[in-house]
Amino acid sequence: MLFVFLLGLLCGAGASEAGNSTRPRLPSVPPLLLVSFDGFRADYLRRFAMPNLKSLYNEGVLVEQLTNVFITKTFPNHYSLVTGLYAESHGILASNMYDPVTRKHFHVSDSSDPAWWDGARPLWVTAQDSGLGTAAAMWPGSDVAIGNRTPTHFFHYNSTVTFRQRLDNVTQWMLGDGKEPGVKFATLYWEEPDRSGHHFGPDNATAMAAVLKEVDDHVGALVSELKRTGLWGRVNLLVTSDHGMAQCSAQRLIRLDRCLHPDNYTVVDLTPVAALIPTNDSQAVFALLKNCHPHMTAYLKEQIPERLHYRYNRRVQPIILVADEGWTIVETGDRLPRLGDHGYDNSLPSMHPFLAAVGPDFRRGLRLPSLSSVDVYPLMCRLLAVPPRPNNGSLSQARCLLEAERCWDVPLAAGLVAGVLLLLSAVTVLFRFLRSRRHSGPQPFQRLQIDLDDDDDPLLE
Ligand SMILES: *[C@@H]1O[C@H](CO)[C@@H](O)[C@H](O)[C@H]1NC(C)=O
Ligand SMILES: *[C@@H]1O[C@H](CO)[C@@H](O)[C@H](O)[C@H]1NC(C)=O
Ligand SMILES: *[C@@H]1O[C@H](CO)[C@@H](O)[C@H](O)[C@H]1NC(C)=O
Ligand SMILES: *[C@@H]1O[C@H](CO)[C@@H](O)[C@H](O)[C@H]1NC(C)=O
Ligand SMILES: *[C@@H]1O[C@H](CO)[C@@H](O)[C@H](O)[C@H]1NC(C)=O
Ligand SMILES: *[C@@H]1O[C@H](CO)[C@@H](O)[C@H](O)[C@H]1NC(C)=O
Ligand SMILES: *[C@@H]1O[C@H](CO)[C@@H](O)[C@H](O)[C@H]1NC(C)=O
Ligand SMILES: [Zn+2]
């Protein structure tokens, strides 16, 4: 009964908070800075010393694994972080895309046509609708006029602009310049450790230690700059990433020409998730690919599992091939293109990034084992007091990160329930002990031992 009561208490607490979540619009919310270090695999945090990042989340919160969206590539995931939508719903499905209606091709190096992005509205647009200034330093899509609007301040993508330059501009934009007030939402993107992860492979501890030391120094520079300008403690800071990285090998190549003739298909995207347009007969081409390789799964578009949320969009091609972790799809030859890659199934831990956050609205010292990356959008909307657009995320878990939310964290609740159950069994044993004393008089010791064990066990009878 106590157990049921406790459960009711838990559910009640949850329900009362989940109900009417509109809160009065604050005159001014703290600025929000969202930082992404591309390709930061979650377990790098455990494998490498990252003192600056550690002290950052020790003062705030850490989500050890962020379950990102399929396919686990840079553009789809960066757009999911700022829209809360799965790739099929925001329309940025891969690094290379083809649209059968407009007959246009997309590549990440030529991504400025708004048509690709217009399936969604990123937070920098929605925040402007609420009257907030926004800024972006190289976040994918931030130099595109989505719905005819860019952030208030932004860079045209240029990979040679240093982290320091990006950081200096972002802090200037957040501070304002006397004439213009500071922006309330800013994003900052950095290409590492993705670049090194591809080049050296995540298993190369020497190379990864070097680049992660650099990344950690950038985190240090970020914190120092926020402290120097007086923003530290006044901004909510999110540090995260888009995806992880898996080790590849020349021993793990999947050659398409072993299974079918290149005349049979057109490649839109190749690895580790291939998107193919069959030349003629989809079923016949699929039959050739279905059993092509034990480490590659072929799907007709209609058969792509719902859990991948990668089906309901015209830019998903008629056939997709998904390589197993660490395998690389090539059309022909035996050359391995990259020692590290990502894009694989988003249920793989190696594909997950992390999320750290610190600031006035966050708890201190809290850790969550995992969260969905689509939940970051509603969390940011809550922080900015901006109404979220329809999205695939939820605040049900993410709100536990916030100081102002009453929230049962799972280990604590489980501990309490276990404690109560233990107490109940102790009371039962004591009760039976007392009863057995009353009924059988002396020699209660043996009975007690039996009761402590399993009294359904015939051997004890
Ligand atoms: C929340 O409450 C306010 C005021 O009571 C009301 O105007 C609003 O519609 C409610 N919102 C929801 C989502 O129930
Ligand atoms: C970044 O800041 C520098 C120095 O203040 C300025 O010259 C440059 O125009 C800024 N960049 C952008 C994209 O506004
Ligand atoms: C990219 O940035 C570098 C360094 O800031 C600059 O020298 C170069 O002109 C920029 N390239 C373009 C295309 O703007
Ligand atoms: C690891 O990376 C270093 C460069 O940091 C390189 O010299 C070395 O050959 C790499 N090792 C392997 C096994 O690839
Ligand atoms: C596809 O069909 C066209 C005509 O329908 C034919 O000319 C061509 O050879 C076919 N190609 C393949 C690869 O089967
Ligand atoms: C594949 O291409 C070859 C060579 O053009 C052709 O003979 C064959 O019919 C095609 N098969 C399918 C299933 O399209
Ligand atoms: C994701 O959200 C969009 C927008 O609300 C919606 O259209 C779509 O059906 C959602 N997807 C899932 C799987 O719920
Ligand atoms: Zn990458």
All domains of the chain, ordered by start, with CATH? 2-248+355-411 (3.40.720.10), 253-337 (3.30.1360.180)
- Rounded to whole angstroms, how far apart are CA atoms 57 and 111? 34
- What's the rounded Cα separation, in Å, for the pair 352 and 22? 31
What is the model's pLDDT at position 448? 41
Cis peptide before 71 (omega within 30 of 0): yes
Confidence of residue 454 (pLDDT cuts 50, 70, 90): very low
Whether residue 122 is preceded by a cis peptide bond, meaning omega within 30 degrees of 0, is: no
**How confident is the model at residue 2, as a pLDDT?**
52
Percent of the chain with pLDDT over 90: 81
Distance of alpha carbon 447 from alpha carbon 233, whole angstroms: 62
The pLDDT of residue 460:
36
pLDDT of 9 reads 45
- % of the chain surpassing 70 pLDDT: 88
pTM: 0.84
Q: Is the CB of 139 under 6 A from ligand 4?
A: no
- Is the distance from CB of 336 to CB of 253 less than 8 angstroms? yes
Nearest to 246 by CA among 347, 341, 329: 341
- Mutation test residue for ligand 1: of 17, 22, 381, 382, the one with most atoms within 8 Å of CB: 22
**pLDDT of 429 over the 70 cut:** yes
Q: Which residues are catalytic?
A: 74
pLDDT class of 456 with cuts at 50, 70, 90: very low
Conformation bin of residue 456: beta by default, left when phi > 0, alpha when psi is -120 to 50: alpha
pLDDT band at 199; cut points 50, 70, 90: very high
Residue 250, Cβ density class (10 Å: 0-12 exposed, 13-18 middle, ≥19 buried): exposed
Beta carbons within 8 Å of 421's beta carbon, 6+ residues apart: 3
pLDDT tens profile 294-307: 999 999 999 999 99
Segment 366-394 mean pLDDT: 98
**Cis check: omega of the bond before 272, within 30 degrees of 0:** yes
User: Residue with the nearest Cα to atom 5 of ligand 4?
Assistant: 207
Tokens 């007969």 sit on residue? 281
Query: Does pLDDT of 446 surpass 80?
Result: no
Cβ of 396 closer than 6 Å to ligand 3, yes or no, is no
Other beta carbons less than 10 A from residue 352's beta carbon: 24
In the chain, the amino acid numbered 372 is S
Residue pair 207/158 in contact by the 8 Å Cβ criterion: no
By the 10 Å C-beta count (0-12 exposed, 13-18 middle, 19+ buried), 42 is classed as: buried
Average pLDDT, the chain: 90
Q: How far is the CA of 330 from the centre of ligand 5 (A)?
A: 24
pLDDT greater at residue 245 or residue 455: 245
> Which residue minimizes the CA distance to atom 10 of ligand 1?
20
Residues touching ligand 1 (Cβ under 6 Å) are 20, 22
C-alpha 196/C-alpha 179 separation (Å) is 41
Please state at what angle helix 445-452 crosses helix 410-440, rounded to 10 degrees.
150
Q: Which ligand sits closest to the CA of 260? A: 6
User: What is the rounded distance in angstroms from the CA atom of residue 400 to the CA atom of residue 361?
Assistant: 11
Among the listed residues 132, 148, 125, the one whose alpha carbon sits nearest the alpha carbon of residue 79: 125
Q: Write out the two tokens for 239.
A: 């540090």
Instruction: State which residues have CB under 5 angstroms from ligand 8, the bound ion.
Output: 194
Reference 225, options 280, 164, 285; nearest CA is 164
Fill in the amino acid letter for 415.
G
Atom of ligand 7 nearest to the CA of 86: 1
Cα 21 to averaged position of ligand 7 atoms, centre (Å): 20
Q: How far is the CA of 54 from the centre of ligand 5 (A)?
A: 59
Task: Give the separation between CA 367 and CA 27, rounded to whole angstroms.
Answer: 30
Residue 440 to residue 460: CA distance in whole angstroms: 18
Tell me the per-residue pLDDT of 215-263, one tens digit each, with 9 for 90 and over.
Answer: 999 999 999 999 999 999 999 999 999 999 999 999 999 999 999 999 9
Residue minimizing CA distance to atom 14 of ligand 3: 158
| Cβ-proximal residues to 390 (8 Å cutoff; 6+ apart), any chain | none
Taking the CA of residue 285 as reference, the ligand 6 atom at the shortest distance is: 13
